[in-house]
Structure 1
């Protein structure tokens, strides 16, 4: 079969959150498993039942392809105009749109690593050459120290995740803003993924400055912040020209009417996020302490997941993951982040679940079979 070369060489990107398939393979109910492989708001989502039932009455009609209500809500949420918002079927679609609209075969794309694998996967689909740049694992490092002006001049685009997945490191707004200004001078596109920033510190966002720039695109996700991974919904913020390109690239009706209505409602629930950040801060501190007590090396995170070094315990990530499945707990193997067998990533959930997780981990680490 003759297909595009870049598509023929594409590899699948690995993700957490495979609770449905694991439950099916083990012949268990999903509720019998603890999913620590997906980084979802530990408080879940605000009530949506009545809204979904109401919106069901309209599913005989197409969604509004302009998504006016959702874009207006998203714009108000981050302090920009609705004209500067691109709706997306989750932030993953926004990554695809960004690559499809802007990249040509042979373009250089710089990706700071370790980080989310979809940036490279989507860029490769359109023929880009990936240049990985280490950004460090255990502490914040200013991008100016690992992304030179010369590199930015050569690149077509740069991807950076803030807070970063899987390390949980949050860079201050000033550092990302400075990087955006340097990319603007170099006429290099900058994709800033802020999927987790609402569960960390939303004051560090750069979404509000994106409309005033030509090359900055800031992506946000409702999946993580509002605990709705089953509703694929996100949005991006950019200047007028880039928004126009992205909206022309976007597939018509890519967001369902149910999802767009739910999104507009969720974005009005700011109190839910305030409570969530409070719980995450407490549970992050508690769980980090427990991991250290067990002889592991958790990276100091700013958000609802922790990258955990396994070196001192002498257990490989693949072995730990398999044994935790035996305890009916899913954790994220970080080999797909390029971290070898030395790390796993675990979510931060509520105290009862975190205690169950720690008990399971104690049993696994105590097993010398």
Structure 2
């Protein structure tokens, strides 16, 4: 990390509320968790009186099986963001440029700047056409946050090959890929995959995730990783969750069904972001991006801040998406359970009348 850059870099706003009285649609986490999590966590507390096995064999095996890669490619991290920082730390030097999509997760640019690098922003739907030559790295978010669209797997692998030929690292943030049946880039040479257990398994406070990379790149990540990077409860709960295939399948089906239902209902009052041309597809993520410039109050345009405040007064938290680069009239809403989604639809219809 570059000391001068730290002084010049700010924090990044995020969704999420700690108000228990609000129905949470501003953070994209699963409202359900796999069965047995509490029991696994409780059993791990006694073992937490000793340092964990720093090799994390059970966690790495479960992560490798989940992402379809070799256990030796897995580097345990306390969340997906820690995996991203690790990737940039081993490959980005002061003055390096990195291709970064927008609108997308704001932490990419922040982490690159902390290393002294320079983010070069590219529209997320044009990123796979960008030339990675003369860049230290490129970043893809798949599916993209906050738009929700996912890249065509063949186009993404072709871009990974171009990055490899240009000696540019490809960092693939797959925080939401578990909500789809699309293949991971884990195990692809020249690529660092960052995965999080936060979103799919509904455990944002657990702080468990992993990076995956092969060869010298994987070796560098493993060496740079902090010792005991996962606490024992996080490692054991993480391994348990990663093995819950039935839970994952049920979650994917629920999100697919509810996302389509919500999008249909919301189109009466919003423009719902839904690309339908390659290399992207319509939302594959557990959220929807809404444009406030269509529908809504007849007596004037409603700002995202006004909508967020009005929804909050009715007990629902939604995300002001104007904090994402390139968006100025948008909000993002998560996909939760059917009853909760019904409440969101009711509130948003009310505040748009």
Name the TM-score, length of structure 1 as normaliser: 0.89
How far apart, in 1, do the equivalents of 2:75 and 2:312 lie?
Answer: 39
How far apart, in 2, do the equivalents of 1:334 and 1:243 lie?
Answer: 34
Matching of residue 54 in structure 1 with residue 8 in structure 2:
no
How far apart, in 2, do the equivalents of 1:322 and 1:200 lie?
Answer: 32
Q: What RMSD in Å do the two structures reach over aligned CA positions? A: 1.4
Alignment of 1:133-148 (within 5 A): 133-136=122-125, 143-145=127-129, 147-148=130-131
Q: CA deviation at 1:340?
A: 3.8
Q: CA deviation at 1:90?
A: 0.3
- Structure 1 residues 52 and 135: alpha-carbon distance in aligned structure 2, compared to 1, 3 A threshold: closer
**Correspondent of 2:290 among 303, 308, 317:** 308
Alignment of 1:89-108 (within 5 A): 89-108=78-97
- Find the counterpart in structure 1 of residue 192 from structure 2: 217
Q: CA deviation at 1:339?
A: 3.4
- Find the counterpart in structure 2 of residue 27 from structure 1: none
- Find the counterpart in structure 1 of residue 170 from structure 2: 190
- Structure 1 residues 336 and 33: alpha-carbon distance in aligned structure 2, compared to 1, 3 A threshold: same
- Find the counterpart in structure 2 of residue 205 from structure 1: 184
Worse overlay, 75-84 or 152-161: 75-84
Question: In structure 2, the residue corresponding to 1:153 is in which secondary structure?
Answer: coil
Q: CA deviation at 1:227?
A: 1.2
In the alignment, structure 2 segments of 5+ residues that lack a partner are 275-282
How far apart, in 2, do the equivalents of 1:272 and 1:221 lie?
Answer: 16
How far apart, in 2, do the equivalents of 1:126 and 1:315 lie?
Answer: 39
- Find the counterpart in structure 2 of residue 333 from structure 1: 320
- Find the counterpart in structure 1 of residue 272 from structure 2: 298
Q: Is the 8 A contact 2:101 2:123 kept in 1?
A: yes
**Correspondent of 2:108 among 77, 101, 119:** 119
The one-character-per-residue Cα deviations of 1:24-61 (angstroms, maximum 9, x if unpaired) are: xxxxxx1x211101111243333312111111111210
How far apart, in 2, do the equivalents of 1:317 and 1:190 lie?
Answer: 33
Matching of residue 359 in structure 1 with residue 338 in structure 2:
no
How far apart, in 2, do the equivalents of 1:204 and 1:49 lie?
Answer: 30
Matching of residue 279 in structure 1 with residue 278 in structure 2:
no
- Structure 1 residues 267 and 144: alpha-carbon distance in aligned structure 2, compared to 1, 3 A threshold: closer
How far apart, in 2, do the equivalents of 1:302 and 1:58 lie?
Answer: 38
Determine which structure has the larger helix proportion and give its number: 1
How far apart, in 2, do the equivalents of 1:304 and 1:340 lie?
Answer: 19
In the alignment, structure 1 segments of 5+ residues that lack a partner are 24-29
Q: CA deviation at 1:82?
A: 1.1
How far apart, in 2, do the equivalents of 1:252 and 1:168 lie?
Answer: 34
Question: In structure 2, the residue corresponding to 1:311 is in which secondary structure?
Answer: coil
- Find the counterpart in structure 1 of residue 5 from structure 2: 6
Q: CA deviation at 1:288?
A: 0.4
**Correspondent of 2:151 among 140, 151, 171:** 171
How far apart, in 2, do the equivalents of 1:68 and 1:317 lie?
Answer: 46
Q: CA deviation at 1:121?
A: 0.6
Q: Is the 8 A contact 2:208 2:235 kept in 1?
A: yes
Matching of residue 128 in structure 1 with residue 107 in structure 2:
no
Q: CA deviation at 1:278?
A: 0.8
The one-character-per-residue Cα deviations of 1:297-339 (angstroms, maximum 9, x if unpaired) are: 1112122100111112321111111111111211111122113
Q: CA deviation at 1:163?
A: 0.5
Name the TM-score, length of structure 2 as normaliser: 0.93
How far apart, in 2, do the equivalents of 1:48 and 1:83 lie?
Answer: 26
Q: CA deviation at 1:254?
A: 2.1
How far apart, in 1, do the equivalents of 2:38 and 2:197 lie?
Answer: 17
How far apart, in 2, do the equivalents of 1:144 and 1:56 lie?
Answer: 45
- Find the counterpart in structure 2 of residue 154 from structure 1: 134
**Correspondent of 2:239 among 229, 249, 264:** 264
The one-character-per-residue Cα deviations of 1:154-184 (angstroms, maximum 9, x if unpaired) are: 1001011000000000112111100110001
Question: In structure 2, the residue corresponding to 1:307 is in which secondary structure?
Answer: strand
